[in-house]
């Protein structure tokens, strides 16, 4: 709209230079992500994207197909040598690294952006799947997690899922360790820890 002021997002984290470079590369392969505007020693400025984070109404199947679409992105022409490499039994793909409902933006029922790419890597797509399904469990519950996992498998039938339990365990350890930093009230944190214990029992 004419006369409307530009809006930006400022974030601080440990890998701003890598995220800034990656956001520029993502624009070459049409992955919906914020535009990189400025980077400093410990901050990054990106364009603001109007949208809402995924809610229960944004069903888990659509989240799964969003992740599968990312993993099918042809990034072979991009220089991603600055990203960490994770081991992979499957063909390595571009990983978001922190895929969860809160890092997706939607408008009018359509995905408009994947945000917060500071943990991006190249490696086994099962790493994103494991993190995503545990986060869906935390956000929406057991049925939603199963719907998410089933829809992803349906979209990516060619993958070897033999290492999924290992990536589940990796995601579980990482997220449980980070949980005290999420600013949750004690009741909510206790609920998520119960869900994490249920998830751990399923791995075993």
Q: Going from the N-terminus, what domains does the chain have, and what CATH number goes with each?
A: 51-203 (3.90.1200.10)
Mean pLDDT of the region 141-146: 96
Mean pLDDT of the region 156-171: 97
Is the predicted pLDDT of residue 2 greater than 60, yes or no? no
Instruction: State pTM to two decimals.
Output: 0.94
Name the one residue in this structure whose structure tokens are 């890598």.
Answer: 18
How confident is the model at residue 51, as a pLDDT? 95
| 36 beta partners | 46
89-123 per-position pLDDT tens digit: 999 999 999 999 999 999 998 999 999 999 999 99
Is the predicted pLDDT of residue 60 greater than 90, yes or no? yes
User: Mean pLDDT for the chain?
Assistant: 95
**Which phi-psi region, left, alpha or beta, contains residue 97 (left: φ > 0; alpha: ψ -120 to 50)?**
left
């Amino acid at each position: 709209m004419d006369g409307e002021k530009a809006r930006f997002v400022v974030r601080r984290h440990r890998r701003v230079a890598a995220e800034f470079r990656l956001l520029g590369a993502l624009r070459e392969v049409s992955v919906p992500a914020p535009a990189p505007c400025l980077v400093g020693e410990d901050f990054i400025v990106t364009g603001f994207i109007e949208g809402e984070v995924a809610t229960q109404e944004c069903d888990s199947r659509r989240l799964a197909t969003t992740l599968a679409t990312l993993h099918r992105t042809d990034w072979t022409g991009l220089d991603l040598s600055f990203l960490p490499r994770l081991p992979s039994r499957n063909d390595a793909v571009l990983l978001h690294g922190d895929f969860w409902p809160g890092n997706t933006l939607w408008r009018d029922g359509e995905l408009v952006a994947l945000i917060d790419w500071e943990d991006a890597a190249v490696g086994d797509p099962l790493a994103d799947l494991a993190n995503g399904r545990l986060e869906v469990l935390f956000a929406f519950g057991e049925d939603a997690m199963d719907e998410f996992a089933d829809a992803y498998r349906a979209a990516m039938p060619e993958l070897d899922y033999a290492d999924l339990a290992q990536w589940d365990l990796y995601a579980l350890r990482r997220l449980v360790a980070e949980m005290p930093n999420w600013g949750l009230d004690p009741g909510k944190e206790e609920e998520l820890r119960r869900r994490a214990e249920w998830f751990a029992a399923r791995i075993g």
